[in-house]
Amino acid sequence: MFKSSSSSSSGSIVIDLWSDAGTVGLQARFAYTFSEDHHLLRDSMLSFARDQIAPGAAKRDQEREFPLALVAELGEMGIMAARVPESHGGPAVDTVGYTLILEALGRADVGLASVVAATNLVAVILSEQATAAQRERWLLPLCTGAAGAASFCLTEPGGGSDAAALTTTVIRDGDDFVLNGSKMWITSGGHAGVYLVFARTESADGTKGISTFVVDPGTRGLEIGKDEPKMGQRCSGTTALHFDDCKIPAANLIGPLHGGYRAAISSLGAGRIGISGACIGVAEAALSLGLGYAEDRKAFGKPIAHFQTSQFMLADCRTELDAAWLLTLRAAFLHDAGHRADAASSMAKLVSSETTDRIVDRMLQLHGGYGYSEEYPIERLYRDSRVLRIYEGTSEIQRMIIARSLF
């Protein structure tokens, strides 16, 4: 049984699922209840998102304004490094809690949710791979908010899906490493306090020879590209990065030499569960706008909510959204329970992002011509949601991961 958080305002949320070993690697029935901490976290994040984030979202979109003050505030709350354990200075939020955070942010401004998600990818890698001295220098400032956002720099102009084909090179030069190459579509580019960069240390092809480095902002040879003129999520500050004989100390190598590909893929696996939460947040916001509009708008002498076509459209949205919730919470629960959750995370991300796209599209349709106006928030959600099927692994890549788990 599942009571979605949106359909029930209070009470515990219980998931009771049976799952097949073939898809999620778990041959068991499990039930899960949100803890008191999850309720508190969700309530406080929803209030913060509603009161502090949502009011400025349209302006940030129009002015392509990076949410610096909100990032600082979320940083002080520990949200930029939410999943980092207390022993490393973080608040030790579990994957379920992290998903709830991104859902709340996604409801108010999914561009900001993307900034938070990218920073958390970096924080988790630093927490798992960095030495104590490196954590002190780069992770702690993310945990306290002093560093603001962090950028996760994997994708290149030549491709993102095939991360193993990256061509940014790094060669050892005495006590330093020298980086050359370019990254593309980097969230928080130009605003980050930490850039975590994946580069090829060896000429070996594929997954071998890739290592992880921190590049500090302002390092000579690091050039930040222009803010990409994006369709949506315009506040998230997406840029290219260029490394031109960019020299960094050898002490900036994070984790083992040639361990970068594994670190990137593993952090993205769990990160996708959070992105599913952000997708659900957008869809919840869209559905709520659609419901409100359907009750207010009249046609043929009655509110359009009275037409069965509108009701069926809304019923389909609620049903599909609850299904996305279930898959997302299953993935989060599996992850927290220490099970392998690659396929479950990909299913959650695939279904949540595609469901969100459908829901936002239907809710825009329900708004008629006004849905096409910038003066109605559904228009921004329509633009903001489209990239959810593309970043942190396209829908096609999620299907590849799921298919792989079947054999």
Ligand X SMILES: Cc1cc2nc3c(=O)[nH]c(=O)nc-3n(C[C@H](O)[C@H](O)[C@H](O)COP(=O)(O)OP(=O)(O)OC[C@H]3O[C@@H](n4cnc5c(N)ncnc54)[C@H](O)[C@@H]3O)c2cc1C
Q: Which range binds ligand X by CB under 6 A, 88-96, 124-132, 171-179, 180-188? A: 180-188
230 lines the binding site for ligand X (CB under 6 A): yes
User: CB-wise, 129 or 385, nearer to ligand X?
Assistant: 385
Q: For the CB of residue 313, give the shortest distance to ligand X in the complex, in Å.
A: 28
Give the phi and the psi of residue 149 in degrees, each rounded to 5: -95, 165
Interface stretch with ligand X, choices 23-31, 150-158, 310-318, 363-371 (CB under 6 A):
150-158
- Residue 353, both tokens: 């992002």
Which of 103, 156, 320, 392 is catalytic? The answer is 392
For residue 306, the tally of other CB atoms under 10 A from its CB is 14
Q: How many residues bind ligand X (CB under 6 A)?
A: 21
Residue entry with tokens 């400032």: 141
Q: Are 250 and 175 in contact (CB under 8 A)?
A: yes
Indicate if 86 belongs to the active site.
no
Nearer to ligand X, 250 or 403 (CB): 403
Which residue is closest to ligand X by CB? 160
152 touches ligand X by CB under 6 A? yes
> Which among 101-109, 140-148, 210-218, 393-401 is the span making contact with ligand X, rule CB under 6 A?
393-401
Q: Which one of residues 102, 113, 142, 154 is an interface residue with ligand X (CB under 6 A)?
A: 154
User: Least distance in Å: CB of 115 to ligand X?
Assistant: 9
C-beta separation of 116 from 148 below 8 A? no
Nearer to ligand X, 34 or 195 (CB): 195
Q: Which helix (H) or strand (E) holds 142?
A: helix 140-144
**110 sits near ligand X (criterion: CB under 6 A):** no
One character per residue 368-387, x = contact with ligand X (rule: CB under 6 A): -------------------x
CA–CA dist 385, 396 (Å, integer)? 17
Q: At closest approach, how far in Å is the CB of 357 from ligand X?
A: 14
* Sole residue written with tokens 């594929």: 206
Q: Are 85 and 127 in contact (CB under 8 A)?
A: yes
Distance, CA of 347 to CA of 331 (rounded, Å): 8
- DSSP lists the bridge partners of residue 308 as none
The Cα-based distances of 314 to 293, 297, 374, 402 in angstroms read 12, 15, 23, 29
Dist. CA 135–CA 194, nearest whole Å: 12
Q: Smallest gap, in angstroms, from Cβ of residue 348 to ligand X?
A: 17
SS3 265: helix
Binding region for ligand X (CB under 6 A) = 118, 152-155, 159-161, 185-187, 230, 233, 238, 387, 390-392, 394, 396-397
Could you give the residue numbers annotated as active site?
392
